[in-house]
A and B are shown apart, each in its own frame.
Chain A
Amino acid sequence: MKKTPVVPVGIVAAVLAALQLLATAFGREYYLTELIMAAYYSVVVLGLCLLMGYAGQISLGHGGFFAIGGYTSAILTTRHLPWAAGTDWGGWLQRAGVLAARQDLYGTDMITVTPTAAFAAAMALTLAVSLLIGYPALRLKGHYLAMATLGFGLIVYRIVLGSEFAGAADGITSVPPWRITPGLVLSGRRAVRVANYYAAWGFALLVVLFLIHVTRSRVGRALRSIHGGETAANAMGIHTAGYKLKAFVISALLTAAAGCCLTHYNGGIWPSEAGALKSVRYVALVAAGGMANLWGVLVISTVLTFLSLRGCFGTFDHAVFGIILIAIISLAPQGPLKPVAAWLRAAGRALRGGRAGDFAGARTHHA
């Protein structure tokens, strides 16, 4: 319990590698695209898991943070900055790696912010907004907090939907690739798809690892104590308001980071990412994964997102997540994995009892 979870991470990594090799071998490498997107969405859900499952606070507005991250990256890397051309400190900023000169789709020269600098800006903005919203909102109870976060997400949605500089209803496309390091380029080009696959999943697994460490530590106990009994937690010296805010900010930052990465991978971002449907979907995925179960959340989120992206739910896509939400929360609020495990154990016992031989044996076993 105290050590780093090497074995589960190793198993998952092995499975992921196997999936990739199979996909390439059978010529189905396009599956990898959906798995890459699923990885980034899972990062969002993992961050939300920390907030909802461990700190016990709800947020129905995380689509808003995703959009803040993604749109900041998109806008900064696609807007030409005319004042930077031919000026001294325009040149200085280019050498510093903040700005870059490149050509757009039509071959025109333009100077934009580099993806890395845009990422930093997105993180800074997300930090500011999450602190601004979180500080007052987290003092609200349960359903008031849910509504406040929903309102926040919708405001972001309306802003990006209605603003010209954010591309209005069309969103922003032609977002350039992000060259993080010489070997690692986030881009949707087929040639780098396998590399992106490992990059995306590396990121997701790193997030899981760090979150597991945190939840097993002093900080994790503090968060879980909030969920259990805030008054008692405060009486033991735990500053619950501070920790709620920290959990909120961390989940917001993770969500925005995923937004940036996915925007560069997809080459664009759209207003629907900020919408209430997306935010509710994230909540449904945390619930389906087991609320306070990081691995469960990762697996379920990946599977359901993958199926959704493949179009397996057809036109019932949104309805499916709505139904999942209703079913899980009404039948198994702590998540479905415990009841399923209990059912499996009971089934296992029943099977073993049946195999014990004659009826008498089985009957006494069940008595």
Chain B
Amino acid sequence: MHQLLQYALSGVTVGSIYAVVAIGFNLIYRTTGILNFAQGEFVMLGGMTAVSLAAFVPLPVAVAGAVGIVAVCGGAMEILLFRRLRSHSLLHMIVITIGLSIVVREAALHVWDEKVRSLPYFTGTECSSVRILGAAISPQVFWVLGTVGVVVLALHVFFRHTLTGKAMRACSSNPEAAMLSGINIRNVRTLTFTLSGALGALGGCVISPMAMTQYNMGTGLAIKGFAAAILGGLGNPMAGVAGGILVGLAESFSVSIMPAAYKDATAFAILLGALLVRPHGLFGSNGAEGAREL
């Protein structure tokens, strides 16, 4: 029984990071139509930057600093690259973001190195654990779940109740009308990238003590985050949370039926399966995003 609970908890924990990546994906997709494959790199950069900063400022400052820096990177990416490439087909855009993620990753390799790093546990150490229903849980898990929960809630409030949030929603559903209403679309797009960068970085910091941070962790995260986004229904940020948790749980429980070496393949299999069977996701409607042709 507490084996199951262990699996479930680790699944939800890692799933919530996939959820964060998925939210970032969906935000950018909704507002710009671009699938930003470099989303995973935001997570990696957040963790790496925080680790570097933590060497000389207190941990909370390091995390805040990392989030800020990566957020700026996200905005810079939009201004320098994506803004100029608006006229390209979406397929071109995704290939460009793949190239971008490779470049960012290699740059990270040269700035830091291939060593695995991690932030210190936010509370306690790697040995501390809390016992719940017979399962041993690291306090960091509560940090992860708590952070993601707060993020989801904050985003919900942001989109529903603030002017900027509503402006972003307007841009995603009808850019022309939004422009005519006086909303500055270009700024909204920059803001979307900045926000996605911040979210990714936050996720990277909070998962770093448990899952480690390494220069090449971004690719796998991007794909798993994409799997989560597709599973929930592309374009729907909140459904991405559900998708992320499901992917995390599936991955976690897969070790009970498959050799552990194939664990990573589970998320990819979900991605493939979702795309081939139900591309509009569990919560999307058929034909809404036009995933299939003819």
Contact = CB atoms under 8 A, between A and B. Distances in A.
- A and B in direct contact, judged by CB atoms within 8 A: yes
Interface of A: 58, 60, 133, 136-137, 139-144, 146-148, 150-152, 154-155, 158-159, 161-163, 168, 230-231, 234, 241, 276-277, 280, 283-284, 287, 315-316, 318-319, 321-326, 329-330, 333
Contacts of A137: 275-276
Indicate the member of A144, A284, A333 with the most B CB atoms within 10 Å: A144
B95 A147 contact: no
A319 B106 contact: yes
Given A140-B279, A141-B290, 14 more contacts: A140-B291, A141-B292, A148-B272, A151-B268, A154-B223, A158-B261, A162-B259, A162-B265, A280-B102, A318-B106, A319-B106, A322-B106, A326-B81, A330-B81
13 contacts: A137-B276, A139-B293, A144-B279, A151-B227, A151-B272, A155-B272, A241-B294, A315-B109, A315-B110, A322-B100, A325-B99, A329-B92, A329-B95
Given A60-B98, A163-B261, A230 B35 contact: no
Contact of B265 (A146, A154, A322, A333): A154
Interface in B227-260: 227, 230, 259
A137 B227 CA distance: 15
A162 B88 CA distance: 38
A159 B110 contact: no
A329 to B, nearest CB: 5
Given A154-B265, A158-B265, A143 B94 contact: yes
Given A162-B259, A329-B95, A322 B223 contact: no
A10 B56 CA distance: 65
B276 A325 contact: no
A63 to B, nearest CB: 13
A147 B230 contact: yes
Interface in B84-101: 84-85, 88-92, 94-96, 98-101
A232 to B, nearest CB: 12
B219 A276 contact: yes
B291 A323 contact: no
B99 A326 contact: yes
Q: Interface size bucket, B side?
A: 35 or more
B271 interface: yes
B122 interface: no
Interface of B: 35, 81, 84-85, 88-92, 94-96, 98-103, 105-107, 109-110, 219, 223, 226-227, 230, 259, 261-262, 264-265, 268-269, 271-272, 275-277, 279, 290-294
Contact of A323 (B103, B265, B294): B103
Contacts of A155: 265, 268-269, 272
A318 B108 CA distance: 12
Contacts of B100: 322, 326
B98 A325 contact: yes
A153 to B, nearest CB: 9
B106 A316 contact: yes
A330 B85 contact: yes
Contacts, number: 136
B186 to A, nearest CB: 18
Contacts of A325: 95-96, 98-99, 102
A51 to B, nearest CB: 13
A277 B219 CA distance: 10
Indicate the member of A150, A324, A333 with the most B CB atoms within 10 Å: A150
Contacts of A241: 294
Contact of A329 (B96, B227, B264): B96
Contact of A150 (B81, B91, B223): B223
A318 B272 contact: no
A323 B99 contact: yes
A168 B259 CA distance: 13
A58 B95 contact: yes
Contacts of B88: 329-330, 333
Nearest to B91: A142
A241 B85 CA distance: 30
A287 B230 CA distance: 27
A147 B271 contact: yes
A148 B262 CA distance: 18
B102 A319 contact: yes
B102 to A, nearest CB: 3
Indicate the member of B90, B105, B272 with the most A CB atoms within 10 Å: B272
A158 B99 CA distance: 22
A91 B269 CA distance: 41
B268 A146 contact: no
A326 B98 CA distance: 8
B24 to A, nearest CB: 16
A227 to B, nearest CB: 12
A163 B264 CA distance: 13
Contacts of A319: 102-103, 106-107
B94 A318 contact: no
A163 to B, nearest CB: 7
B90 A151 contact: no
Closest 8 CB pairs of A and B: A162-B261, A322-B102, A325-B99, A319-B106, A158-B265, A326-B99, A136-B276, A142-B91
A141 B291 contact: yes
Contacts of B265: 154-155, 158-159, 162
B271 A58 contact: no
B210 to A, nearest CB: 21
B263 to A, nearest CB: 8
B232 to A, nearest CB: 15
A21 B101 CA distance: 42
B275 A330 contact: no
A159 to B, nearest CB: 6
B276 A329 contact: no
A243 B275 CA distance: 21
Contacts of B106: 316, 318-319, 322
Nearest to B275: A148
